[in-house]
Structure 1
Amino acid sequence: MDDIPLYMLRAIAALFLIAVNASVAGTFTVFRNVSFLVAGASHAALAGAALAIVLETYNIFSMNPIVGGILFAMFTAIAAGYASKDEGINTAIGISFALSMSLAVLFISMIREYAARVWGLLIGDLFLLTNEDLVLMLISTLLVVFVCSLLYREFLFISFDMEGAMAYGINASMLNYVLLSLIAVAVVVTLKGVGAILVFAMFVAPAAAAVEVAGNVRQVFILAFLIAMVSGFVGLAISFFYQVSPGAVASLFASLTYFAAVAYRR
C-alpha cells in the first residue's frame, strides 16, 4: 500500500463509489426509461457549479461548487418530473437541459477568470480528485443507496408501471420526484470522476448492458456494478501506463460492453 500513489488510491475509492451509483441509480434510470435525464442533470450541475463560484467571487455566499451542482441537478430533475405531467418526460428533460445550459453559459460569462473550475467538471479526471471530493462523493452515495434500499419495491413499481402504482394507492408522483432527484445526485457524484461529456456512457451503459443479459432484477444490479468497476479499472490501468484519460477509456469500455451484450443476446 505504501508503494501506491495517494492519487491512485483516491481514484480507486472514487471508482468504487461511481460503480455503486452506476449500479443503483443507473439501473433505476434504465428501468424508468429516463436515460436523457443523465445528460440533463450533468449539464445542470455545470450551471450550479458556476453559480456557486459566482456567489463566492462576489462575496455573497460561499459554497462548494459540487454542492451547487447537486442542488441545481435536483432542481432540474424535479422540474422535469413536474412538467412531464403535461408533456412527455424526455421533452421536459430536454427543455430543462436547454435552460440549464443557458444559465451555465450566463454564469460562466460572469466569472471568465475562474471559468476553468467549471470546465473541469466538463471533462473530469479520476487522478485530480481531492479528499474533500471523496467525502462529498461518499455522503451522496450513502444517501442514494439508503433511500433506494428503503423504497426499493416502490421505485420498481413506478419504474415499470406508473399508472398501476397510482391505481394501487401509492403516492407515485412524490416517489417519482424522489427517484429523479436521487438519479440527479448520483449523476453529479459520477460527474467529478468522468466529466459531463462522458458521464452518460459510464452511468447508463453498465445498467443497459446488464439488462440485456441478466435473468432477473437482482442480477441487473450486480452485473451493472461489475461492468462499471471493470470498466473503471481498465481505464485506470491503461491511463497509468499511457498518457490518456482514464474516464474516456472507462466510458469507451462500458459502451463497448453494451454492444457486446446486445450481440450476445441476439
Structure 2
Amino acid sequence: MEVSEILTQPYMLRAIAGVVLIAINASIAGSFTIFRNVSFLVAGASHSALAGAALFILLGVYGFPANPLIGALLFAIATAIIAGYAPKEETNTAIGISFAMSMSLAILFISMIREYAAKVWSLLIGDLFLLTYEDLYLMTFVTFLSLMIALLFYKAFLFISFDSEGATAFGLNTKRYNYLLLSLIAVSAVMLLKGVGAILVFAMLVAPAAASNELASNLRDVFVYAFIIALVSGFVGIAISFHFKVSPGAIASLLATTVYFFSLLARRFRGD
C-alpha cells in the first residue's frame, strides 16, 4: 500500500488528529503542570478516571446509558478538587489517597461487570488507531475549552504557579484559580486516555513540557517546544507502529521521555 493511500485511511486520519489534540494538551496542561509542580496529579487523575469510566459502564448495564469518558472526566475533576482543597504541602498526599480510593472503586465496579471489563482496561492501555469519531469530537471540544480557559486566565495561572503568596497579596482569589488550573490539568490527562492509556499519560503530558522547560529560554518557548516535542513524538510513534506492528503510544512516550533525558544533558553541558 502506498504512503498516500495509508494517510487517507480513516483510522490513520483519526490517529493523526488524535496526536494533534494530544500535543495541544501537552503544550497547555503539560506546561502548567511543570510550572505548578503538580506532576503527580496527571498520574492520579488519569488512574482515578478509570473508576469513573467503570461506574458509567455499570450504570449503562443497568439501563442508564452514559459515555464512560464523561464518568472518567468527573472522577478526574474530583481528584483535582481534592488536590486543590488540601494544603499545598499535602497536595501529593491528597492525590495519592484519591488515586488509591479510585483504583479500589474501579476494581470493585469491574468485578460487578466482568463481561465489560475490557472497556475499562482499554483506557489503561489506549491505542491511537482505535480512536472513534465520537472520541475525537469529545477530545476536540474539551481541548478547545481548555485552550480558551488557559488563554483567558493565562496571567493568573502563571501568577499562582510561581508566586501563590504574592498572588494572594495582590488580591487574586488564588483558591478559585487553583481549582480551575488543577481541573484543567486533570481533564487534559483524561483526554489522552483513549490515545495512549492511563499508564502512558504521564509520559505524553509531562515529558514534553519538562523537556521544553529545560531547553526554552522563556515561558512562551516552553509552550511551543512542548507542542513540537509531543507532536513529533506522536507522528513518529504512528509511523514506527504502522511498520513494526507495535504500540504507537508506547513509541511516542519513549521518544518524549528520551528527549527529556537528552534535554537534561544539554542543560548540563551548557553549564546552567
Instruction: Name the TM-score, length of structure 1 as normaliser.
Output: 0.97
Q: Distance in 2 between matches of 1:158 and 1:190?
A: 25
The one-letter amino acid of 1:36's match is F
Which residue, out of 190, 193, 196, partners 1:194? 196
Which residue, out of 216, 228, 231, partners 1:229? 231
Q: Distance in 2 between matches of 1:148 and 1:84?
A: 24
Secondary structure of 2:197's counterpart equals: helix
Equivalent pair of 1:194/1:248 in contact (CA under 8 Å): yes
Q: Using the TM superposition, give the Cα deviation of residue 24 of structure 1 relative to its aligned residue in structure 2, in angstroms.
A: 0.3
The one-letter amino acid of 2:73's match is I
What residue is the counterpart of 2:140 in the other structure? 138
Q: Distance in 2 between matches of 1:42 and 1:138?
A: 18
Q: Using the TM superposition, give the Cα deviation of residue 244 of structure 1 relative to its aligned residue in structure 2, in angstroms.
A: 0.3
Secondary structure of 1:88's counterpart equals: helix
Which residue, out of 66, 72, 90, partners 1:63? 66
Q: Distance in 2 between matches of 1:18 and 1:142?
A: 12
Equivalent pair of 1:129/1:193 in contact (CA under 8 Å): yes
The one-letter amino acid of 1:20's match is I
Q: Distance in 2 between matches of 1:164 and 1:93?
A: 25
CA deviations over 1:199-242 (Å, ceiling 9, x no partner): 10011000000000101000000000000001001100100101
What residue is the counterpart of 1:12 in the other structure? 16
Secondary structure of 1:142's counterpart equals: helix
Q: Using the TM superposition, give the Cα deviation of residue 2 of structure 1 relative to its aligned residue in structure 2, in angstroms.
A: 5.8
What residue is the counterpart of 1:219 in the other structure? 221
Q: Distance in 1 between matches of 2:5 and 2:135?
A: 22
Which residue, out of 148, 151, 156, partners 2:150? 148
Q: Distance in 1 between matches of 2:168 and 2:94?
A: 21
Secondary structure of 1:215's counterpart equals: coil
Q: Using the TM superposition, give the Cα deviation of residue 167 of structure 1 relative to its aligned residue in structure 2, in angstroms.
A: 1.1
Secondary structure of 1:198's counterpart equals: helix
CA deviations over 1:142-201 (Å, ceiling 9, x no partner): 010000000000000001111111111100000000000011110011111000001100
Which residue, out of 243, 260, 263, partners 1:258? 260
CA deviations over 1:240-261 (Å, ceiling 9, x no partner): 1011000000000000000000
Which residue, out of 16, 24, 28, partners 2:28? 24
Q: Using the TM superposition, give the Cα deviation of residue 81 of structure 1 relative to its aligned residue in structure 2, in angstroms.
A: 1.1
Secondary structure of 1:170's counterpart equals: coil
Q: Distance in 2 between matches of 1:97 and 1:161?
A: 27
Taking the TM superposition and a 5 Å limit, the aligned residue runs for 1:110-121 are 110-121=112-123
Taking the TM superposition and a 5 Å limit, the aligned residue runs for 1:238-249 are 238-249=240-251
Taking the TM superposition and a 5 Å limit, the aligned residue runs for 1:146-185 are 146-185=148-187
Secondary structure of 2:156's counterpart equals: helix
Structure 2 residues not aligned, in runs of 5+: none
CA deviations over 1:112-161 (Å, ceiling 9, x no partner): 11000000000000000100000000001001000000000000000111
The one-letter amino acid of 1:81's match is G
Task: Indicate the RMSD between aligned Cα atoms, in angstroms.
Answer: 1.0
Count of aligned pairs = 264
Taking the TM superposition and a 5 Å limit, the aligned residue runs for 1:18-97 are 18-59=22-63, 61-84=64-87, 88-97=90-99
Percentage of matched positions with identical amino acids: 67
Runs of 4+ deviating beyond 4 Å: none
Equivalent pair of 1:23/1:207 in contact (CA under 8 Å): yes
CA deviations over 1:10-68 (Å, ceiling 9, x no partner): 00001000000000001000100000000000011100000000111111x22100111
| Larger CA deviation: 13-22 vs 158-167 | 158-167
Q: Using the TM superposition, give the Cα deviation of residue 84 of structure 1 relative to its aligned residue in structure 2, in angstroms.
A: 3.0
